[in-house]
Amino acid sequence: MDGNGKRLSEQPPLDPMLARRRQMVFEQIHARGIRNERVLRAMEEIPRERFLPPEQAKNAFADAAVPIDAGQTLSQPYMVAAMTAQLDPQPHERVLEIGTGSGYQTAILARLAREVYTIERIASLQDAARILLRELGMENVKYRVGDGTQGWPEEAPFDAIMVTAGAPELPEPLIAQLAEGGRMVIPVGGSEEQTLTTVVRRAGRTIETPGMACRFVKLIGRQGWPDPAEE
């Protein structure tokens, strides 16, 4: 029996990967200067290891991006943390995510915001992410398959927008869907390297602040890179 009168066998099972996630957060994220406690806690709690194909499970806590299905990647833990801290989603806010991918970034956002609207152009990726997120109890996520560069206009405006693929320039439809005072974090640049850029909409104009260099898969769509399958 424990101090609350419950048999030890009735206690919830310990998370066998929690210690490894805490080590990942401390060594790769906190040590590099990210101090947003809500982001750090979410990344300790969300089981990153479950968002990878079985053959990549050994790389769940690597300090690098990891390949997933359909030629996409699960971003490096530090990059996920840096982008999320830069966006700083609040508990009352509605967030639009462009690029569901594995669903890992979606899960982090869902833990931090009131509602998440996520768009993915590859249906198989979003189907898998939807199943996993529901298994994890993430009920505040809405899903769409389509061109993320067009956003989700009927649900706009959004308090925050996270773009998880590299764009050649800022997609105008996404800027238009930002609420007054809303912000967007997006990699902008060439196909090989981008700059992580924060955009804030204020008084009908946008303020762009460039950040760190980064490298993401291409943002495919009418306001992004052309679809190679259509070339």
Q: What is the DSSP letter of 127?
A: H
Burial 147-186 (b: 16+ CB within 10 A, else e): bbbbbbeeebebbbbbbbbbbbebbebbbebbeeebbbbb
The Cβ-side half-sphere exposure at 20, using a 13 Å CA radius, reads 14
Catalytic machinery residues = 75
Q: What is the DSSP letter of 221?
A: S
